[in-house]
Structure 1
Amino acid sequence: MAHDYAAQRSETYAVFAEIAEGADLPDIADIDYAFVPGDAPDWDALEDALSEAGFECARVADDEAAPYLAARLPDQPVTAMAIWLGEETATALALAHGFQPDGWGFMG
């Protein structure tokens, strides 16, 4: 089944609007995207592809949650469009390497 980018984009814009409504957001922040492994994930290949595209990558694992790959774009404008553009790029790479998108967040 093909990934539904339109639904993902709509959700990103809706979540951003909800966050922005109740908070004083920074102009610039590091944007983090999370990707969970599917049936046949290629961790190394995804990290390489994301790094080539300008993302900083880290494998995250703890005792309470399944492991995932975090991909960070530092110093990004905090807008729905900026978040979506990074998410769309990273999602395409993640899907090609056996991962699924699992949300985003930012620190700034």
Structure 2
Amino acid sequence: MDMNAQKAETAEIFRQMAQMEDMPAEAAVHFQFVADDHSADWDAFTQAAEGSGYAVEWYEADDEDGERYVEATSPVIALTPEAVWAHEEKLTLLAAIHGFAPDGWSFFTA
């Protein structure tokens, strides 16, 4: 897991999104994680993320080739690359402990 590369990728994605559309000042951010293997502990990751203030949902694969994933949603935060990364880094490290790898993020406004 290369956290520096992941941080740079997050900053670049944020920059690209900001070029395509006006970004809101605040938003809740969804962070998606996939199981590294069959031993990933879905319940433990869910409990840990919820205990850290995130809402968590599990999603089944859309088709046979798709992967199940878990999504942890932040409360509404300032929508800046630094704020997104702060949450992404925390959740990525937490996810790794329980057998998950990051698989992207998105945001929504109320």
Which bin holds the TM-score, normalised by the shorter protein?
A: over 0.9
1:38 equivalent in structure 2? 36
% same residue:
37
* Partner Cα separation in structure 2 for residue 62 and residue 97 of structure 1: 20
Equivalent position amino acid for 1:52 in 2:
G
Query: Is the contact made by 2:53 and 2:75 (CA closer than 8 Å) also made in structure 1?
Result: no
Shift of 1:97: 0.2
Shift of 1:74: 2.0
Shift of 1:62: 3.8
Shift of 1:52: 1.1
Deviation track 1:54-93 (CA, whole Å, cap 9, x = no partner) reads 1110001143331100000021111101110000000000
Shift of 1:53: 1.0
Unaligned runs of 5+ in 1: none
TM-score (norm 1): 0.94
Matches within 5 A, 1:21-100: 21-39=19-37, 40-64=39-63, 65-100=66-101
Deviation track 1:19-63 (CA, whole Å, cap 9, x = no partner) reads 011211111111000000112200000001111111110001143
Unaligned runs of 5+ in 2: none
1:11 equivalent in structure 2? 9
Aligned structure 1 segments of 4 or more residues deviating by more than 6 angstroms: none
Give the secondary structure class of the aligned counterpart of 2:94: helix
* Partner Cα separation in structure 1 for residue 62 and residue 18 of structure 2: 32
Q: In the comparison of the two structures, how many residue pairs are matched?
A: 106
TM-score (norm 2): 0.92
What is the root-mean-square deviation in Å for CA atoms of aligned residues?
A: 0.9
